[in-house]
């Protein structure tokens, strides 16, 4: 998506939203997406994946990670 489209979608608040500088959370506290995001953030949690049985949750998380790593899937 081009920046001009983002600005038009955000409308009157675009300047404020796009130039925001968070002072409450430091960069080192963020969990940024990457090829190992599921392993780093979700898999080691004691939370159930979407309140499904463990085997289904693991299969779902694996499918999400496979989609992220796939060269055939791109973001428009």
Residue 54 lies inside a defined structural domain of this protein = yes
DSSP class of 49:
S
Residue 76 lies inside a defined structural domain of this protein = no
pTM, to two decimals:
0.34
Domain containing 55: what range?
3-69
pLDDT digits (tens, 9 = 90+) for 5-57: 888 888 999 899 888 888 888 888 887 777 787 777 766 666 655 567 778 87
Residue 2 has pLDDT above 80, yes or no: no
pLDDT for the residue 12:
92
Cα dihedral sign, 22-23-25-31:
positive
Residue 20 lies inside a defined structural domain of this protein = yes
CA–CA gap between residue 10 and residue 25 (Å, rounded)? 23
Domain count, the chain: 1
pLDDT for the residue 49:
53
Residue 76 has pLDDT above 60, yes or no: no
DSSP class of 50:
T
| In the chain, alpha helices (H) | 3-10, 14-18, 37, 54-69
């Amino acid at each position: 998506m081009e920046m001009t489209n983002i600005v038009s979608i955000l409308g009157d608040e675009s300047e404020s939203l796009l130039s925001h500088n968070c002072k409450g959370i430091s960069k080192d506290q963020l969990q940024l997406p990457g090829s190992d995001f599921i392993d780093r953030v979700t898999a080691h949690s004691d939370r159930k994946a979407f309140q499904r049985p463990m085997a289904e949750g693991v299969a779902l998380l694996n499918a999400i990670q496979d989609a992220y790593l796939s060269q055939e899937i791109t973001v428009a």
